[in-house]
Structure 1
Amino acid sequence: MSEPFLIGRDMTGGYGKGPDILHNCTIGVDKGEIAVIVGPNGAGKSTAMKAVFGMLDVRQGGVFLNGKDITKLSPQARVREGMGFVPQTSNIFTSMTVEENLEMGAFIRTDDIKDTMEQVYTLFPILRDKRNQAAGELSGGQRQQVAVGRALMTKPTVLMLDEPTAGVSPIVMDELFDRIIEVARTGISILMVEQNARQALEIADKGYVLVQGANAFTGTGKDLLADPEVRKSFLGG
């Protein structure tokens, strides 16, 4: 078996000098795939994502991107390596316009960003309509589109999303998931943490169920949805 394009392998670690939150946890995603991390509250889902992005100490195990060991790299250095991260909250500049937010996303680039901007506007047409509006005036779903669009402006090979549908309506959730599928079809790997486990697993190539910072179940989205134990314990029957 070849290694996934991005993998956090056997990760044990926590924040600063605090206790371990992750215990021998492994999550990975292949090129152009959608991998979803689900599990109960407090299971360490967002922590696992942050560990892969370099936001907490991995005391054992390692993180590898396209075969390269990036365990010791800062989050900023990981962005330069091709990782984009969209946190759950405080993920846009509310006083800036939509277009200014997207331009801020391209801060590491020295080439022409017009084509990427056009791709983001094609993916999220509402952002084109509202490009001169302050991002803080947008609805929750539109703000999430700005946040994802801004991450795409770095031209990432991996896009990491922490609870992208938190607090949005079911209709907006479906629309965001449709856009996420479109992004994956362009060859970008998607790794996301999601509370709406059933809906997320429906679009997932790969799923990871975490419990108390450790892997409980791993499989394709379809397999996990069909697993009676997963259904009973995590999907409400």
Structure 2
Amino acid sequence: MSYLIGENLTGGYGGMDILNDLTISVDKGEIAVIVGPNGAGKSTAMKALLGMLDLREGQVLLDGKDITNLTPQARVGEGIAFVPQTHNVFTSMTVQENLEMGAFLRRDDIFETMEQIYELFPILKEKRKQAAGELSGGQRQQVAVGRAMMTRPSVLMLDEPTAGVSPIVMDELFDRIIEVKNTGVAVLMVEQNARQALDIADRGYVLVTGRNRFTDTGAALLADPEVRKSFLGG
């Protein structure tokens, strides 16, 4: 059984269902990537796992525990961290202050974790006294991921982490995400850059109209002729 499972998820925002019998899962030390066309329900699936969507059917399990009825805040307390696509840093605060905010609810010594973040993201240590709003887009994303990691999560959820960055910065961010995975964290990511994301994915989900259209390893999806033709540009 995977560490985080959203099973047979069906629901929406009060009108028509956006998710239809959708199943998504990710294990510790693994990257799972959700891809698909615009309007496929990718970010909605993430919100369902976070408890931000009304489900008519289905359940969410974390390490075997049913968390379907927990609030988003309670799910964070259970070890799920989420990095939204936009507005994900405190721009007027320094890099270090952003990281400290990530540990706001902790009552233990946070500086060992902070040093681990600086090892994962060396540029953040270099710029730790600089305002986050002065950083490049890719650097701000590293701050956002670092702040989420300050909660010491077991699951890290990322919504479009490479949106608006250059291909070089995208590759660097993906390298850092692989390093996060290698620490034993379960990483679940929604990504528009499908080909590049599936290249680093242990498992991938191709969504169409809120349903599982294809589910396989990242490598198998990249090699699938139908996936390539319909979703990866040939």
| 1:11 alignment counterpart | 9
| 1:166 alignment counterpart | 163
Give distance in 1, aligned partners of 2:227 and 2:19.
20
Supply the AA of the counterpart residue of 1:184. Answer: K
| 2:221 alignment counterpart | 224
Where in structure 2 are there 5+ consecutive unaligned residues?
Answer: none
* 2:17 match: secondary structure: coil
1:150-204 CA deviation, whole Å, 9 max, x = no partner? 0000000000000000000000000000000011011000000000000000000
* 1:128 match: secondary structure: helix
Shift of 1:67: 0.2
Question: Runs of 4+ in structure 1 displaced over 6 angstroms?
Answer: none
Q: Does residue 1:233 correspond to 2:227, yes or no? A: no
* 1:31 match: secondary structure: coil
2:17 to 8, 17, 20: 20
RMSD of the alignment, in Å? 0.6
Supply the AA of the counterpart residue of 1:88. Answer: Q
Where in structure 1 are there 5+ consecutive unaligned residues?
Answer: none
Shift of 1:18: 2.6
TM-score, normalising length from structure 1?
0.98
Give distance in 1, aligned partners of 2:156 and 2:2.
15
Supply the AA of the counterpart residue of 2:138. Answer: G
TM-score, normalising length from structure 2?
0.99
CA contact (8 A) 1:39 1:234 kept: yes
CA contact (8 A) 1:80 1:108 kept: no
2:92 to 92, 95, 102: 95
Map 1:71-110 to 2 at 5 A.
Answer: 71-110=68-107
* 1:46 match: secondary structure: helix
1:55-105 CA deviation, whole Å, 9 max, x = no partner? 111220010000000011111111110000000011111111111110010
Give percent identity, aligned residues only.
78
Give distance in 2, aligned partners of 1:131 and 1:31.
29
1:215 to 183, 187, 212: 212
Give distance in 1, aligned partners of 2:159 and 2:131.
23
Give distance in 1, aligned partners of 2:84 and 2:40.
17
Supply the AA of the counterpart residue of 1:6. Answer: L
Give distance in 1, aligned partners of 2:20 and 2:105.
34
1:53 to 50, 54, 61: 50
Count of residues paired in the alignment = 234
* 1:229 match: secondary structure: helix
| 2:117 alignment counterpart | 120
| 1:31 alignment counterpart | 28
Supply the AA of the counterpart residue of 1:119. Answer: Q
| 2:178 alignment counterpart | 181
Supply the AA of the counterpart residue of 1:100. Answer: E
